[in-house]
A = this chain, B = another copy of it.
């Protein structure tokens, strides 16, 4: 379990790096002509975001290089082969890809709000949002091409980034497919979560290892760290939807049930014979009552489904911490362990 001080340490580490990430974004993603296109492309990135993935990337760089956190310029980071590497560029690249996927996802899901502001296709229009996403897509690759890493490492980082993007698209397609299917196995769901969400964490953690010329063993271990902790993050999202009061959640508790969202919890419940479709009567989140949610949660608890998801997330976080053992025992590694804990201990 995390203690308050663990959470405080993580939030401080994220906050300290967020400022640097935001400053670097302004440098590498300037507002140039055609201005409306670049304004729309930068809009969501400027609206906020915790910068969790860049934080993972920057902490991984510090853990690999075995330097005290925040002691070295991320733009001129010492590679194991002696070169100065811009690990910040790699971190930005992943954040920009994340932003592109959010913009296009919001069009597909017709979500009106994101980070407390209108989604790009609402603030502008659908055409502009498609094009803004496309612009961020290639910009991420342009930035990743300029890390100063040895060419074989730079090329490998680009190859990994491309593969990550393809897998995200496949994960999104599977998510849509699952809504139409009558049966989905928990393993299939976990595969989908890995593609849709976790590969971006895997890439964020492994990219600095590639750029800094670390051994393949380190690259693979950091990739696994991201996959395991990123998957746990998504499962925790599903748990939170049922277990946290609406005020704290920022949306109606239990809304996943109304939307018939496939989650590890509902998949497990179905396997236990629970009639998941009958858990709530409400047609939309607004008409959902607390009593209905309480009753649904009681049924899911009885079937052991919420505990099943919690245990899965717990086990994935334990795996992610074990993955890190290949790294030197230092403060940055310890923060990466804490960060994995935070992903499943957070209340919202």
Contact = CB atoms under 8 A, between A and B. Distances in A.
**Which of A162, A165, A170, A177 has its CB near the most chain B CB atoms (within 10 A)?**
A162
Interface magnitude class on chain A: 35 or more
A326 interface: no
A76 interface: no
Interface string A139-172: 1011001100011101100110111111001101
Contacts of A170: 33-34, 37, 135
Nearest to A139: B166
A218 interface: no
A137 interface: yes
B137 A172 contact: no
Given A127-B108, A152-B151, A169-B134, A163 B142 contact: yes
A176 interface: yes
B145 A155 contact: yes
Interface string A92-106: 000000000000100
Contact of A145 (B107, B133, B159, B169): B159
9 contacts: A37-B169, A104-B131, A130-B130, A131-B172, A134-B169, A138-B164, A141-B165, A151-B152, A155-B155
